[in-house]
């Protein structure tokens, strides 16, 4: 079966470079810009490949300015790639827009509806442009906006506007749903409601591609994810695979008079003011060895804490590692 979404060596270059000219979105840091400028302009997306099977939730993560929105816009058919190919439901989303558009739902970062319209009017207007639209009540209930129909868009809170964005994206019963930072601005409850809704959509067979800055969101929601940094995918896989690539951590405090140098050699440890941290890819073996050593030596390991890496650690590690590599290259 053709994947719902397929990106192959996808590239996006903004003409004229990213020197703060008109039309440029904010978010890039100067170091990032320098390394991504080429003769043709600014390389926001630098040859990325991934595919999303039907019915899967796929999350694109990345630092600010990594190229997530630029990628999603190519897949939505809002711009033509500068290189490589994008396929959505087997079609080119830019050239075959009329075949793709009715089958996808798009929630942009900024909805930009007329702010004087009410919620009900906005949904009606949108439904008028959507073939086979769901009843307004259904999408408003699904997104927690039932009862807010008569409120003007300008009177909605930021979180309620995100919900309205989502309601509109759902109107056409999309087979593929693109969600660009769907829960930004939502409170904890709103975020959880959105997660439940996205899971329910997956259960109905909808494919979802989302971008997010909330690592917990990707960890709990995504079947697979990719982490972008400076226009490239630097790590991808299931949340478990991505975190497994990172070392686990064992931390404890040694009693006064027991230097970290007395630990078994295998447990290469970093000590700061008595607190020891061991980073390891063999958590069980190293923990067993450490506990055996402590027992034999009669040493108490205060505040002992052993844990696998989280997605957040994987993410931070990637960001700092690539920044170090860049600094070295400069
Ligand atoms: N129209 C444009 N012209 C020039 N540069 C642009 C334009 N749009 C985006 N960029 C630059 O391309 C890079 C990628 O931007 P993009 O918005 O895709 O990143 P992102 O990963 O979605 O970031 P964020 O998490 O901050 O939303 C950034 O450095 C941005 O400044």
Reported ipTM: the value is 0.97
pLDDT per residue as tens digits for the range 166-190: 999 999 999 999 999 999 888 888 8
- Of the candidates 214, 145, 150, 215, the residue with the CA atom closest to the CA atom of residue 185: 214
Using the mean position of ligand 1's atoms as its centre, give its distance from the Cα of residue 24 in Å: 7
**Contact at 8 Å (CB) between 171 and 130?**
yes
33 CA closest ligand 1 atom index = 29
- Residue nearest to ligand 1 atom 25, measured at CA: 64
Q: Are residues 76 and 180 in the same domain?
A: yes
Instruction: Report the relative pairing of strands 5-15 and 83-88 from DSSP bridges.
Output: antiparallel
Kindly report the CATH number assigned to the domain that includes residue 69. 3.40.50.300
What domain range includes position 180? 5-243
Residues 169, 226: Cα–Cα separation, whole Å: 23
In the predicted structure, residue 31 carries a pLDDT above the cut 50: no
Both tokens of 235, joined, read 């790590």
Residues 195, 106: Cα–Cα separation, whole Å: 17
Residue positions counted in the chain: 330
The pLDDT, as a whole number, for residue 238 is 95
Q: Are residues 232 and 304 in the same domain?
A: no
Both tokens of 144, joined, read 């927690």
Confidence at 29, pLDDT banded by 50, 70, 90: very low
Q: Are residues 235 and 252 in the same domain?
A: no
User: How confident is the prediction for the chain on average, in pLDDT?
Assistant: 87
Q: Are residues 282 and 140 in the same domain?
A: no
Residues 251, 253: Cα–Cα separation, whole Å: 7
Q: Are residues 70 and 137 in the same domain?
A: yes
Q: Are residues 226 and 254 in the same domain?
A: no
Confidence at 35, pLDDT banded by 50, 70, 90: low
Using the mean position of ligand 1's atoms as its centre, give its distance from the Cα of residue 230 in Å: 10
Task: Tell me which residues have their CB closer than 6 angstroms to ligand 1.
Answer: 14, 18, 23-25, 27-28, 32, 42, 44, 62, 64-70
Instruction: Report the relative pairing of strands 302-307 and 224-229 from DSSP bridges.
Output: unpaired
pLDDT per residue as tens digits for the range 75-105: 999 999 999 999 999 999 999 999 999 999 9
Residues 255, 274: Cα–Cα separation, whole Å: 8
Confidence at 111, pLDDT banded by 50, 70, 90: low
The pLDDT > 90 percentage for the chain reads: 53
29 CA closest ligand 1 atom index = 29
Q: Indicate yes or no: pTM above 0.95.
A: no
The pLDDT, as a whole number, for residue 22 is 36
């Amino acid at each position: 079966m053709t994947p719902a979404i397929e990106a192959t060596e996808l590239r996006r270059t903004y003409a004229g470079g990213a020197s703060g000219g008109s039309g440029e979105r904010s978010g890039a840091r100067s170091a990032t810009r320098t390394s991504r400028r080429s003769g043709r302009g600014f390389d926001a997306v630098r040859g990325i490949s991934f595919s999303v099977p039907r019915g899967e939730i796929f999350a694109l993560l990345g630092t600010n300015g990594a190229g997530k929105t630029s990628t999603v816009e190519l897949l939505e058919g809002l711009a033509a790639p500068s290189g490589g190919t994008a396929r959505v439901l087997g079609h080119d989303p830019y050239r075959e827009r009329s075949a793709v558009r009715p089958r996808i739902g798009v929630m942009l970062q900024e909805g930009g509806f007329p702010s004087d319209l009410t919620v009900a009017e906005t949904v009606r207007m949108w439904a008028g442009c959507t073939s086979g639209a769901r009843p307004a009540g259904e999408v408003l209930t699904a997104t927690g906006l039932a009862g807010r129909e008569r409120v003007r868009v300008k009177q909605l809170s930021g979180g309620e506007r995100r919900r309205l964005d989502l309601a509109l994206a759902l109107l056409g019963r999309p087979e593929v749903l693109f969600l660009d930072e769907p829960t930004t601005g939502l409170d904890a409850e709103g975020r959880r409601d959105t997660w439940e809704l996205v899971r329910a959509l997956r259960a109905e067979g909808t494919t979802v591609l989302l971008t997010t800055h909330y690592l917990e969101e990707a960890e709990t929601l995504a079947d697979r994810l990719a982490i972008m940094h400076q226009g490239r995918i630097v790590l991808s896989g299931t949340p478990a695979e991505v975190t497994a690539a990172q070392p686990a951590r064992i931390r404890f405090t040694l009693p006064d008079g027991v230097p970290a140098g007395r630990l078994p050699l295998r447990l290469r440890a970093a000590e700061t003011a008595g607190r020891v941290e061991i980073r390891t890819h063999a958590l069980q073996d190293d923990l067993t060895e450490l506990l055996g050593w402590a027992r034999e030596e009669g040493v108490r390991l205060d505040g002992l804490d052993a844990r696998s890496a989280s997605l957040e650690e994987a993410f931070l590690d990637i960001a700092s590692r690539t920044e170090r590599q860049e600094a070295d290259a400069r």
